């Protein structure tokens, strides 16, 4: 099969790496890809993955490319093309594509839609209200004593959530999103949720319209600095499994979250084929959904796909055709840890074009895979080309071994200004 993967980050590198191992893959393109992706080879033929300079949101040119190259399966990584309706467009033209259509992608592209859906079908979530009017929003925030999360409705590059702990802070946040429109049209409406305390984990479920096959647990690290200090980022590291939900907890998630979600989708004619990725807070009164994403997490994908034993092409086909009930997901029991190495200054301003050293040495170590995110080639050299640069991923006999191996590799890789957290997986190690 000829595959096209859309996107350019660490998530897409992990998808390409895993799809390249499939016996079904005979040729693979990635648009636009990155320097690490262009070094991947197909297990089948040994041929290199080809990066094509097409933006992930350039739907007309992506469509023209898929038609011209007779792509058998397109795999969408990021949220934006899904929200723009790439799946609907490709399907109208008779092309096979994996990911939720525009209606289904609303679980991520509209927080108002997701919150109201959860309330309609009784999914456990934070107490919340949705508002277009600043006065009503402020009154609701005051009723929560200002301890709340103010969320822009639409996609805002992961920056549209403002956590507040005081009424004046909440008023400022509401003004910023609803009145000053800092996030543009994404902030025409907002969701205000009560602030929830607990342990945050990531869940992923592969869906085929009828079935939701739950992955093992994982945990992301959103803040830039150790001990969850500093600004929110796209994610500074992840590990799986995260030892905070036992079998009974997972059963509760299936019954109280996935089951009513599937029933709600059926009732509203939402045909969801793709990854449902709920962000969950494990509170004293049980798991509660903070938000939904409608695609693979980054860097959760890096730890999931280094543990997944199934052929990913076959899984995505089953997700498209509604055959997931017949498939068993198989996971390597070895835990996996991904440490993100970022450019100095990220998530604020940062330099690009810094030479990266040490990757050749790390490439020969067993139990390690370095996924590239923001990298490019300059002559023969690899250089930094984004905020998150590398996702150094390792697996081992237990979480500690995987963590130690990941950091041993991180310590061999250098670039000017490199910044990473030292405490990825520390919470999991503390709990287990
Ligand atoms: P979201 O994009 O909605 O997941 O929000 C981004 C981050 O804000 C989450 O990963 C949480 O750490 C935090 N957050 C969101 N909603 C809440 C909430 N209701 N209570 C506490 N923290 C929250």
The tens digit of pLDDT for each residue in 359-408 reads 999 998 999 999 999 999 999 999 999 999 999 999 999 999 999 999 99
Question: Is 198 touching ligand 1 by the criterion CB < 6 Å?
Answer: no
Using the mean position of ligand 1's atoms as its centre, give its distance from the Cα of residue 274 in Å.
22
Question: Is 161 touching ligand 1 by the criterion CB < 6 Å?
Answer: yes
Using the mean position of ligand 1's atoms as its centre, give its distance from the Cα of residue 401 in Å.
30
Using the mean position of ligand 1's atoms as its centre, give its distance from the Cα of residue 222 in Å.
10
Q: How far apart are CA 154 and CA 343, in angstroms?
A: 27
Going by pLDDT thresholds of 50, 70 and 90, the confidence category of residue 432 is low
Using the mean position of ligand 1's atoms as its centre, give its distance from the Cα of residue 149 in Å.
7
**Would you state the pLDDT for residue 199?**
95
| Mean pLDDT within 197-224 | 96
DSSP state of 47: P
Report the SS3 class of residue 397.
Answer: coil
The model's pTM = 0.97
Q: How far apart are CA 219 and CA 202, in angstroms?
A: 5
- Tell me what percent of the residues of the chain surpass a pLDDT of 70: 100
Specify the residue for token string 């400022």: 172
Alpha carbon dihedral 277, 82, 420, 407, in 10-degree steps, equals 60
Question: Is 210 touching ligand 1 by the criterion CB < 6 Å?
Answer: no
**Residue 51, number of CB atoms within 10 A of its CB:** 19
Question: Each residue of 136-179: pLDDT tens digit?
Answer: 999 999 999 999 999 999 988 778 899 999 999 999 999 999 99
**Would you state the pLDDT for residue 123?**
98
Question: Is 193 touching ligand 1 by the criterion CB < 6 Å?
Answer: yes
- Tell me what percent of the residues of the chain surpass a pLDDT of 90: 96
Report the SS3 class of residue 147.
Answer: strand
Based on the number of CB atoms within 10 Å of its own CB, is 364 exposed (0-12), middle (13-18) or buried (19 or more)? exposed
Cα 193 off chain centre by: 22
Question: Each residue of 7-61: pLDDT tens digit?
Answer: 999 999 999 999 999 999 999 999 999 999 999 999 999 999 999 999 999 999 9
Residues 6+ apart with CB under 8 A from 259: none
**Would you state the pLDDT for residue 157?**
78
**Would you state the pLDDT for residue 156?**
85
Query: With contact defined as beta carbons under 8 Å apart, do 20 and 42 qualify?
Result: yes
Among protein residues, the one with the nearest Cα to ligand 1's atom 4 is: 291
Cis peptide bond N-terminal to 347, omega within 30: yes
Question: Is 195 touching ligand 1 by the criterion CB < 6 Å?
Answer: yes
Question: Is 219 touching ligand 1 by the criterion CB < 6 Å?
Answer: no
User: For ligand 1, what atom is nearest to the CA of residue 128?
Assistant: 19
Bridge partners, residue 382, by sequence: 377
How far from 307 is each of 132, 331, 333, CA to CA, in Å?
43, 5, 7
Q: How far apart are CA 53 and CA 364, in angstroms?
A: 30
Question: Is 220 touching ligand 1 by the criterion CB < 6 Å?
Answer: no
Q: Is the pLDDT of residue 330 over 70?
A: yes
H helix runs in 210-364, sequence order: 247-253, 259-268, 300-305, 312-321, 359-363
Exposure letters 274-307 (e unless 16+ CB within 10 A, then b): bbbbbbbbbeeeebbbbbbbbbbbbbbbbbbbbb
Average predicted confidence (pLDDT) for the chain: 97
Alpha carbon dihedral 63, 50, 20, 71, in 10-degree steps, equals 30
Question: Is 196 touching ligand 1 by the criterion CB < 6 Å?
Answer: yes
Bridge partners, residue 76, by sequence: 6
Among protein residues, the one with the nearest Cα to ligand 1's atom 8 is: 161
Q: Is the pLDDT of residue 229 over 90?
A: yes
Pocket perturbation via mutation, ligand 1, pick of 279, 292, 295 by most ligand atoms within 8 A of CB: 279
Q: Is the pLDDT of residue 234 over 70?
A: yes
Question: Is 19 touching ligand 1 by the criterion CB < 6 Å?
Answer: no
Q: How far apart are CA 129 and CA 140, in angstroms?
A: 7
Using the mean position of ligand 1's atoms as its centre, give its distance from the Cα of residue 226 in Å.
18
Q: How far apart are CA 140 and CA 178, in angstroms?
A: 14
Question: Is 153 touching ligand 1 by the criterion CB < 6 Å?
Answer: no
Q: How far apart are CA 367 and CA 421, in angstroms?
A: 20
Question: Each residue of 283-312: pLDDT tens digit?
Answer: 999 999 999 999 999 999 999 999 999 999
Residues 6+ apart with CB under 8 A from 343: 350, 351, 352, 354, 374, 384, 386, 387, 388, 389, 417, 418, 419
How far from 360 is each of 122, 213, 355, 408, CA to CA, in Å?
51, 37, 13, 14
Using the mean position of ligand 1's atoms as its centre, give its distance from the Cα of residue 193 in Å.
9
Question: Is 162 touching ligand 1 by the criterion CB < 6 Å?
Answer: no
- CA-based diameter of the chain, in Å? 63
Query: With contact defined as beta carbons under 8 Å apart, do 345 and 54 qualify?
Result: no
Question: Each residue of 101-119: pLDDT tens digit?
Answer: 999 999 999 999 999 999 9
Cis peptide bond N-terminal to 241, omega within 30: yes
User: For ligand 1, what atom is nearest to the CA of residue 126?
Assistant: 19
Question: Is 331 touching ligand 1 by the criterion CB < 6 Å?
Answer: no
Using the mean position of ligand 1's atoms as its centre, give its distance from the Cα of residue 326 in Å.
35
Using the mean position of ligand 1's atoms as its centre, give its distance from the Cα of residue 223 in Å.
11
Query: With contact defined as beta carbons under 8 Å apart, do 99 and 75 qualify?
Result: yes
Q: Which DSSP string do the residues of 180-243 spell out, in sequence order?
A: S-TTGGGGSSEEEEE---SEEEE--EEEESS-EEEPPPBEE--EEEGGGEEEE-S-SEEEES-T
Query: With contact defined as beta carbons under 8 Å apart, do 245 and 283 qualify?
Result: no
Pocket perturbation via mutation, ligand 1, pick of 160, 161, 300, 347 by most ligand atoms within 8 A of CB: 161
């Amino acid at each position: 099969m000829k595959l096209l993967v859309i996107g350019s980050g660490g998530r897409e590198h992990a998808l390409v790496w895993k799809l390249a191992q499939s016996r079904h893959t005979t040729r693979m393109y990635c648009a636009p890809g990155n320097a690490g992706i262009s070094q991947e080879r197909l297990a089948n033929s040994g041929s290199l993955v080809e990066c094509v300079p097409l933006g992930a949101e350039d739907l007309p040119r992506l469509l023209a490319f898929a038609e011209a190259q007779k792509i058998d399966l397109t795999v969408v990584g990021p949220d934006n093309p899904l929200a723009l309706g790439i799946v609907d467009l490709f399907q109208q033209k008779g092309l096979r594509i994996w990911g939720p259509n525009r209606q289904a992608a609303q679980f991520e592209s509209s927080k108002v839609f997701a919150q109201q859906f959860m309330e309609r079908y009784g999914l456990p979530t934070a107490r919340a209200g949705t508002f277009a009017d600043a006065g009503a929003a402020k009154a609701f925030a005051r009723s929560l004593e200002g301890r709340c999360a103010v969320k822009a409705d639409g996609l805002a590059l992961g920056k549209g959530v403002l956590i507040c702990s005081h009424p004046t802070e909440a008023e400022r946040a509401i003004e910023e999103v609803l009145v000053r429109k800092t996030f543009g049209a994404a902030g025409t409406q907002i969701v205000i949720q009560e602030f929830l305390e607990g342990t945050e984990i990531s869940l992923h479920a592969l869906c085929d319209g009828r079935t939701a096959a739950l992955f093992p647990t994982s945990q992301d690290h959103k803040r830039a600095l150790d001990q969850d200090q500093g600004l929110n980022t796209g994610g500074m590291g992840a590990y799986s499994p995260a030892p905070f939900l036992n079998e009974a907890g997972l059963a509760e998630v299936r019954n109280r979250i996935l089951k009513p979600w599937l029933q709600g989708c059926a009732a509203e004619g939402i045909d969801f084929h793709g990854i449902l990725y709920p962000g969950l807070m494990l509170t004293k009164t049980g798991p509660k959904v903070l938000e939904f994403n409608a695609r693979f997490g980054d860097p959760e994908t890096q730890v999931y796909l280094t543990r997944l034993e199934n052929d990913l092409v076959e899984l995505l086909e089953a997700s498209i055709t509604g055959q997931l009930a017949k498939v068993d997901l198989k996971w390597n029991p070895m835990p996996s840890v991904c440490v993100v190495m970022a450019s100095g200054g990220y998530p604020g301003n940062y330099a690009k074009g810094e030479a990266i050293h040490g990757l050749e040495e790390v490439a020969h170590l067993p139990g390690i895979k370095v996924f590239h995110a923001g990298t490019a080639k300059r002559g023969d050299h690899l250089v930094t080309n984004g905020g998150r640069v590398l996702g150094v991923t390792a697996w081992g006999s237990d979480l500690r071994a995987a963590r130690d191996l990941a950091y041993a590799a991180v310590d061999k890789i250098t670039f000017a200004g490199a910044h990473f957290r030292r405490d990825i997986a520390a919470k999991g190690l503390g709990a287990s």
